Structure 1
Amino acid sequence: MQSPADWPILAISVVGAILLVELARRVLNRVGRNWALARHLVEHCTWSAYWVAAVVAANLVFGPGMLGDSPGDRALAATVERVLGLVTIAAVTWLIVQATYALTDVVLDRLVLIKGDDNRRARRIMTQIALVRRIAAAAIIVIALGAMLFSFPQVRALGAGLLASAGIAGAVVGIAAQPTLGNALAGLQLAFSDALRLDDVVVVEKEWGRIEELTLTYVVLRLWDERRLVLPVSYFTQNPFENWTRHGSRVLAVVFLRVDWSVPVPKLREALYAFLQGNPLWDQKDWTLQVTDVLPNGLVEVRALMSAADAPSSWDLKCDVREFLVEYVREHHPESLPRFRVETPESRLEAGKDPR
């Protein structure tokens, strides 16, 4: 017989479970100021924990007698129980996936702070963690979907027949999913072969940028002008590309200056070295200033080369050096500014040459 007190107990249980989760969230929120794991758990797991608490409480309190004892009520109760079971599996899966992301975010936060010589190894680990947790999340979701399907007796009855035709079905699915599976395997190959990492500086399709995101199916390249170039992962296993940070995070910054032949190169070299000594972006290792070319338009090409700890520092250092050299030449050697010479008969006479 249906008890009138059952429904208030069910509501109180659900609300009480949610309040317990809210209390835990508030405690973790305070602790999270000094504990990174607590902060990430609050960021990722709050809503999924609400759902898990609510459906678990409902499963514990709900009983078939709450809907009555008639055959129709019992059938409805069975349907409600099955729906609660499915929602429970979905909520628990959501919570597990979010908790996995929270745990790995703690490690990723520490790796992001690593600079200098250890930055390359840190970026490699970050890339591998990002891909592995995506694979783990996909596997957890597939297992959850399987558990939800096998909660139906009809699906379990069809299991033997499906297993008998698994070879043919697997072949068909494999052919249909070949591009996706190829990209997924290519993503794993890139991550664990150390060929490509997050924040690597690469040149692809004559575009310079940094690896912003690396998934199992695509790679997002953030270009120097803030555009995003999205490429399939298989592109990097089938086409050549430049990786400027393959063996280390140190990057050589190059600045070209086109000036007149009268430029005093030794003085320019001394001024550059003095400027680099006071610039914190220079890693105090490599530098040089050389005349690298004589251009057809009558100018000479001067190349300044400096080393920096990583790609962002290299970009800023190049801008600083370029600005310094332009200002130095303009203020101290204005006669060396780029100019184009034209010889006329009058100028040849002034130089004492025969215009003929």
Structure 2
Amino acid sequence: MAELTEAGAIEIIPIHFDVPEHHLELKTFIETAAQTEAIIAGLNEYLFDGKLDYQVLVLPPEIGTFKTRLAVVATAGVIWAALESNIGAAFVKGLTGHEPAYWSELAGGYVGELLADEGKAPPSATDTRIECRTGALILSESTKSFLQKDVSELNKIGIRPTQFREGYGARNKFYEACAEDTKIKGVGFTNADEFPIRRSDFGRLQVALPPKEKDLDDRPWHVAIDTVKVTSPNWERGDKQRQWKGRDSSGHERLFRIEDEQFWHLVTNQKLNPHIFDTMKVQWAFRSEAGKLKDTRVLRVLEYNENTLAPPLDGNALDALLGQYGDTVGSAAGSGGLFDGL
């Protein structure tokens, strides 16, 4: 429930865990709370240019359940300029489902009610409280939304991993912590006993992150769809030393890494049927150097042993993962000489 105190406008973000005995491992509590705070900080920069002054507090959990209750306390802000821009308004509507004016009107109503017993406040003080209240509302609602939306939805409103890398990284760590705690069956972000994010969703909501700016390579990425006959798989996702190995449709041996979260989710849940020699149709990105392919990344596994898994990533998704990339090499598996000349 929202409040307005001398400290500022307060909006609560409940993180409701579906656990059998209403307790949570300390490391899970600390990590999920810390990563939520990181998302709040990132959204403040992303939506308000960092101009909302706030604190994040931890409130006591309610008896008979386990909810991490984080309070966003907004104490000052200069947010209207960011919200009144077309981009800012689109981001807020995309994340929360409402235009900034809706949240401002809601905040004004709350402030009016809370000030009714205080006598007539100076207009400037009332405006400041409304601005703080609006900022706290938008920040909390945006955080809950960002923790639940698919990357495809976020891409459509312009919140992409390339522009919001820190936020996506924090979300990855949030769901990694949930996955490591085997007692968590689901997560919700309301006070109700509703858990729309199930354990099976934890992997889906983690995304491959683009390189940090300091690690960016000047060589452009190229994208292609091809069929690969796997000669040496590596089912240990965390293994940073050994890559997958296979032959492309031109018969060339390729080393590559698979970054497709949906594919690894299917692996974790034993939904694939591996053969001695697997065949995969993939959408991958790579760089070329001195006539050789480098840094090959499988962005999406389209088919696995002739079973369709997913459609190719579209241009917006590729932009989000790769930034600007060069011409697509080839268009489909079996196009003949897909990598000839490289």
TM-score (norm 1): 0.25
More strand by share: 2
Q: Which has the higher contact order (CA 8 A, sep 6+)?
A: 2
TM-score (norm 2): 0.26
Larger radius of gyration: 1
